[in-house]
Structure 1
C-alpha cells in the first residue's frame, strides 16, 4: 500500500548540469536509478518514489534560496549502516561538498543520531542517517 508515501519531490535548481553532477552519484549510491531526462530536467527513482531536478527559468535566478526561509529546510535519506554514512561522507569530501556541523560530525543531531549533513550546489541541506 502506498497511501501516504511520497510520490515525488521536484526541486528547481540554478544550474541543472552542476546539480546533476552533484546528485547523480549520491542518489545512485542510495539505490536510485536514472528515471527520466529532458532538456530542462532529470529524475531518479527508487521504488515508487522519484526525485526531479528542473532548471530554474532565468527570470527567477536572481531570487536566492536559503533553507531558513519559508520553504524546504532539508531532505533526509536513510543509509544502510554507520559505515555507509562514513563512506558517503568521504565521497562528499572528495567531491568538495560543504559538510555542515563538521565539528560535531557524525553526532550533530545528538548522540543517538549518526548522520552526515551537507549542502548541494544550491545550498539545500541534505542529511543521510544511519539506522
Structure 2
C-alpha cells in the first residue's frame, strides 16, 4: 500500500453555505474532485487522498468577512488538465457571471511561463487554476 503524501485536508469556514455549495458543485468536478462528505453544516470534495472541506461559519463570527490580504489563507490553486481546459473553464465561468482577477494579464498574470486563470468564490477567496506545461 502506498503511504499518502501532501496535505490531508483543508477546511474553510464560509459565510453562506448554500451559495458556496452552488459555486463549488460545478467547479470541483471540473477539476477531478468528487463529493466526499455532506452534513447539515458542511460538505467536502476529495481528489486522491486529500480533501477540501467547507463549513458554515457560526453566526457570532460572521461580522468580520474574509479577506485574502489579511493574515491567513490567501488563495487555493488547482491543476487544470491543460491550457485548453483553462480556456473551457473561462468560458463557463463567464456564462455564470463570475468575474476574473487580473483579466488584463490573462493568461500570464502569474508570470511568463505560468498559464493560469484567477477568480473569486462567493466569499471572495481567490481561486487559481494552473495549467501544466
TM-score normalised by L of structure 1: 0.96
Runs (5+) with no aligned partner, structure 2: none
Counterpart CA distance in 2 for 1:34 and 1:71 is 26
Q: Once the 2 structures are TM-superposed, how far is the Cα of residue 72 of structure 1 from its aligned partner?
A: 0.3
Match of 1:99 in 2: 100
Using the TM superposition, name which of 94-103 and 117-126 deviates more: 94-103
Counterpart CA distance in 2 for 1:96 and 1:23 is 14
Runs of 4+ aligned structure 1 residues displaced above 3 Å come to none
Counterpart CA distance in 2 for 1:7 and 1:91 is 29
Match of 2:123 in 1: 122
Does residue 45 in structure 1 map to residue 19 in structure 2? no
Counterpart CA distance in 2 for 1:45 and 1:109 is 26
Match of 2:81 in 1: 80
Q: Once the 2 structures are TM-superposed, how far is the Cα of residue 96 of structure 1 from its aligned partner?
A: 1.4
Counterpart CA distance in 2 for 1:95 and 1:49 is 27
Counterpart CA distance in 2 for 1:98 and 1:15 is 19
Match of 1:2 in 2: 4
Match of 1:69 in 2: 70
Q: Once the 2 structures are TM-superposed, how far is the Cα of residue 18 of structure 1 from its aligned partner?
A: 0.3
Counterpart CA distance in 2 for 1:91 and 1:50 is 24
Runs (5+) with no aligned partner, structure 1: none
